[in-house]
Chains A and B, each alone.
Chain A
């Protein structure tokens, strides 16, 4: 894993500050999150202190500092989904999984993320489970859905 980070960093040869965000984005897209180790390495490559990089990364919503769960659930909280009841769906997920958006369950199975608009406004509330869309989701479907997902994880 350590070698890979160096490979990515190696692509950004100029070592200028403008490259910081694309570099972090690429690290996240490969590893799924930005580790402490990655921040240290990026810092020494770009000549920036780790606090600066951490400060920047936490400013933006896109970056996460813990691995996502085996099943990553994106909840749309766009205006249209909200008006169609996305809050109740999100609440149900939070209650069932006992995590907040942005967190991962302790066993590493599930993680939640809130996004603003995925583009399915007419079909709200929309959620996305590991890249697959579910439309017109109702809160009462959530426990059943999670049960099914747990079953999939257990039998994997």
Chain B
């Protein structure tokens, strides 16, 4: 191990020429397991696969290998993308292409490995094979990069994810890692790095789309004796997990990105601000950090360049608003995470009053690649004003789900129809929601919008951190808007009135739309209408007068849903009907007298005793008592309960 470390440092990291010596390349091939003499079994091991049971799969594979005295090597890798195929297992037989198998739960392990080792592969679990040069082909098995899920992606930032053991720095270095950082601190000045990044046109991936190079320059040119770099891995939106996936699958590239960025702004302190509850990501990152220190990637006078760098990790204590820059800084300073008026911007006065640059994970992941391949290479992806790629965390009701990376300029339709492959369970597509809790709903008619900063802005769609929720017709838009509003109201920090009061009022009105009123007299109806009339006004006031982005964008889900799905709102308000049958308060149930056998099951289960009748005679539901919970509907074996 010590020998390998010395070798990697001397022959790879400090090797001046761009192409490595052929002898070195051979060693690296071995580290990368390009040519192995024994089978290698890769098990995807991150939070989403652990939820799907990767823990047990891994144990089963290890015990299979031990029991059968096979000389196979078992390694854990990061996430390859498709979350619905977890636990994902990849087997590499010597000299052959790698084979990917999906949904390998523990009970499938034995038959799978028996099959692969004896060339009798079960097609049901098989996903495909990789097609690398110089490896034997498996006949009749599709290539991974031809599957629609991968074919339409451009995996640049995610190129390492799922390919190597994220806990091994040797593997990262053997894939070309950390060389760029060493080259940068030895041969470039901070100004030059800022220049290169500015020329590449890299824009902050968190929503605003500000030029990263320009932001860095502002911090660099502010006179100060110390500066700070903060990597924002807060991604607080419910249902976004791309940062976590990156941290778990490729922590070393993030460290390299943070290191280069810190060098570019002249900071010797960098902090990762991590979302609470990401225990697995935290453990992986800390381990990677330890290795980086071991290899002197961070520390004092790194490789005699005179540059010092320390990276620390801080776990965010659980507040949505801390994703906002000034609130984040407050929270790091040990105060309540409340935003402040800007300017001054953090680039001139941030953490401890010093110039501070805050970039998110995805932005920083681009940096090592741009420094390695140059700004022109980066401009080769995406559109002119939005170069590069965009990571999307796809969730919801689509057939496929997981973290994907597409070129900027790819249309939303392409993502929905080809990568996500439509809707599961035979339902129909309704909308896509982009941009997290304060994002916008996109209806069918806007699906041809390309994903880039300008085009989305024009349509009033927020890019956000890359949340991409696919919604089908089993969801009610009014209820979803209420869900987001409830979330934001809970997370509003309470500093400014428009946000604190506005979110509360909007939630109240939305709830009055979907709830059954205590009495349907003209008073309550009038109140409901008055509320609805005010929703749009409240929205525009909040948008114009809130202090930070949270309040300004909080009405987005409502406004976009109203724009695209007005008829659903009207049905709820006027007809008191929910077409998706989600809103409990609006459902009324009746019992079909002809089908009811009088089995008493529904009456027994009714939580409010609203069902009456005599045994073996048809039962009936008292509408005034019914709360619309739908338990009777679920338990009836004779389909006698009907939703009205």
A and B form one complex: yes
| Interface residues, chain A, with chain B CB atoms under 8 Å away | 16-22, 24-25, 55-56, 59-63, 77-84, 95, 115-123, 126, 133, 135, 140
When the two chains form their complex, are residues B334 and A115 in contact, meaning their CB atoms are under 8 A apart? no
Interface status of B577 (Cβ within 8 A of chain A): no
A79 and B238 contact, CB distance less than 8 A: yes
Q: Are A59 and B493 in contact (CB under 8 A)?
A: yes
Tell me whether A119 and B335 are in contact (CB under 8 A): no
Asked if residues B239 and A117 are in contact (CB atoms below 8 Å), the reply is yes
Q: How many residues of B contact A (CB 8 A)?
A: 47
Known contacts A80-B469, A116-B236, A118-B277; A123/B241 CB under 8 A: no
Interface residues of B in 474-489 (CB under 8 A from A): 474-475, 480, 483, 487
Task: Tell me if B386 is interfacial: C-beta within 8 Å of chain A.
Answer: no
Contact B334 A21 (CB under 8 A): yes
How close is B475's CB to chain A, nearest CB, in angstroms?
Answer: 5
* Interchain residue pairs A-B with the least CB separation, the first 4: A120-B51, A61-B318, A79-B239, A62-B318
Please indicate the chain A residues that have their CB under 8 angstroms from the CB of B336 in the complex: 55-56, 59
- Nearest Cβ on chain B to A49's Cβ, whole angstroms: 14
A29 to chain B, nearest CB (A): 10
Cβ-defined contact, A80 with B239, below 8 A: yes
Q: Spot the interface stretch: B145-153, B395-403, B498-506.
A: B395-403
- Nearest-neighbor residue (CB-CB) of A82 within chain B: B483
- Distance of A118 Cα from B279 Cα, bound (Å): 10
Q: Are B634 and A116 in contact (CB-based, < 8 A)?
A: no
Given A79-B483, A83-B397: 7 more A-B contacts, CB < 8 Å: A56-B335, A59-B493, A63-B318, A80-B469, A117-B240, A122-B395, A123-B52
Which partner residue on chain A sits nearest B401 by CB separation?
Answer: A122
The residue of chain A having its C-beta at the shortest distance from the C-beta of B467 within the complex is A79
Assuming the contacts A79-B238, A117-B241, A140-B634, asked whether A60 and B475 have C-beta atoms less than 8 A apart, the reply is: no
Residue among B50, B277, B480, B483 with the highest chain A CB neighbour number at 10 A: B277
Contact of A121 among B83, B277, B335, B480 (CB under 8 A): B83
The complex places the Cα of A16 from the Cα of B332 at a distance, in Å, of 12
B434-472, CB < 8 A from A: 467, 469, 471
Say yes or no for B372: interface residue by CB 8 A criterion. no
Contact of B276 among A20, A62, A120 (CB under 8 A): A62
* 20 A-B pairs (CB sep. < 8 Å): A19-B334, A21-B314, A56-B336, A60-B319, A62-B276, A63-B317, A77-B487, A79-B396, A79-B469, A80-B401, A81-B239, A82-B483, A83-B475, A84-B397, A116-B487, A121-B239, A122-B52, A123-B52, A133-B51, A135-B51
Max chain B CB contacts within 10 Å: which of A19, A82, A123? Answer: A82
Chain B hits for A126, CB < 8 A: 51
A140 to B601, CA, bound (A): 15
Q: How far is the CA of A33 from the CA of B277 in the complex (A)?
A: 15
In the complex, which residue of chain A has the Cβ closest to the Cβ of B402?
A122
Q: A115-B277, A116-B236 are in contact. Are A17 and B333 (CB under 8 A)?
A: yes
